Amino acid sequence: MSDPTTLRIVIPLAIRKRNGRPKILPPADRAPDMGGVDPHALKAIARAWRWRRQLESGAASTIQDIAAAEKLSDRYVGRLVRLAYLSPEVLEHLVIHRMPPALSLTDLIALADRPWTEQMGIVFEGLA
């Protein structure tokens, strides 16, 4: 018996379009674990904190300045910056412990107006 001259390797990958670009996704059993937190929500929280720091440091004087620099609408920036005012406990569970919230990103933005003592129970339903 002779050794085969062709070696065939099969890697089960999926190709999906994300933001109009093809993205290669690993098999579901090998996908990196994000802990259940939507990566878009984490990015939104990071942007909100960056904008908050710009406003507090004086690098930007208004939300309109940030919106113009980012080429976004001032209404969107104003809505999203509210995520930077979620309670520290909620942010710790979302960002560090990667606990999935029971709410959508839109609901998290609306929740930022509530007192910090109420936020934890609402975001994670039953924890507090």
Q: What is the pLDDT of residues 21-37, one digit of tens each?
A: 777 776 665 555 555 66
According to the model, what pLDDT value does residue 79 have? 94
The answer on pLDDT for 80 being more than 80 is yes
Q: Give 31 or 120, the one with higher predicted confidence.
A: 120
Return the structure tokens found at 111: 């929740």
Cα 98 from chain centre: 10
Return the structure tokens found at 56: 């507090």
Domain that holds residue 101: 39-124
pLDDT-derived band of residue 128, with 50, 70 and 90 as boundaries? very low
Q: Give 49 or 28, the one with higher predicted confidence.
A: 49
The answer on pLDDT for 88 being more than 80 is yes
Which DSSP category does 71 fall into?
T
Structural domain contains residue 98: yes
The answer on pLDDT for 85 being more than 60 is yes
Q: Which residue has the tokens 């960002």?
A: 95
Our count of domains for the chain comes to 1
pTM above 0.85, yes or no: no
Quick one: how many helices (H) and strands (E) in the chain? 6, 2
